[in-house]
Amino acid sequence: MLEREKALELLYEHVKTKNLIKHCLAVEAIMKALARKFAQDEKLWGLAGLLHDLDYDYTKDKPDLHGLKTIEILRSYEIPKEVLDAVLAHCEKKEHETLLEKAIYVADPTSGFIVAAALITPEKSLEVIDVDFLIRRFKEKLFAKGANRQQMMKCEEMGLSLEEFLGISLEAMKSIRAELGL
């Protein structure tokens, strides 16, 4: 399996937007935390999170190719099929059948939602927000409207309440707050 260091090299090679790199790091952190929660392979789940948007700069104006280009880029590397399937599932190019596929589907919009919540605080920091704050923002339809609430609610299909899922995600992102600049 591709080591994280090599995956990071690929990320920096293919993703040029600083905020998108931070997004991938945040999704990686959430995926690792979810893997721990469900006693799954942290390296495998983290790899899926880190690489899920590898092709975004190439496909942002061609959403029908999003995910597919990542698979093409990764073809020459030792990437487990589960990771490739998760990449496709996160952008709805594949049904969400496995726990990994469901997890990446819900983690993707959640990272942006949590960043948006941190950025509306005077401190612009993850440290000052908690799950109650996130739940209140979640109910505000105009807040972070790009973060698909229905997609985030799919956490229930993994046996997690929204509160528990947001708590896991927030703590995961707090653990890398320096890398995220939050």
Cα torsion for 177, 158, 135, 126, to the nearest 10°?
0
The pLDDT, as a whole number, for residue 110 is: 98
Fill in the DSSP letter of residue 145. Answer: T
What is the pLDDT at residue 105? 98
**Domains in the chain, start-ordered, CATH in brackets?**
4-177 (1.10.3210)
Average pLDDT, 10 consecutive residues per value, the chain (182 residues): 95 96 98 98 98 95 95 94 97 96 98 97 97 97 94 97 98 97 96
What is the predicted pLDDT for the residue at 54?
A: 96
Q: Look at residue 96 in the predicted model and tell me its pLDDT.
A: 95
Predicted structure pTM score: 0.97
Instruction: DSSP letter for 130, please.
Output: -
* DSSP state string for 40-79: --HHHHHHHHHHTTTTHHHHTT-GGGTTHHHHHHHTTS--
What pLDDT does 61 receive?
94
pLDDT score at 140: 95
Would you say 68 and 85 are in contact if contact means Cβ atoms under 8 Å apart?
no
Write down the pLDDT at residue 10. Answer: 96
Residue 34, pLDDT score? 98
What is the structure's pLDDT at 138?
97
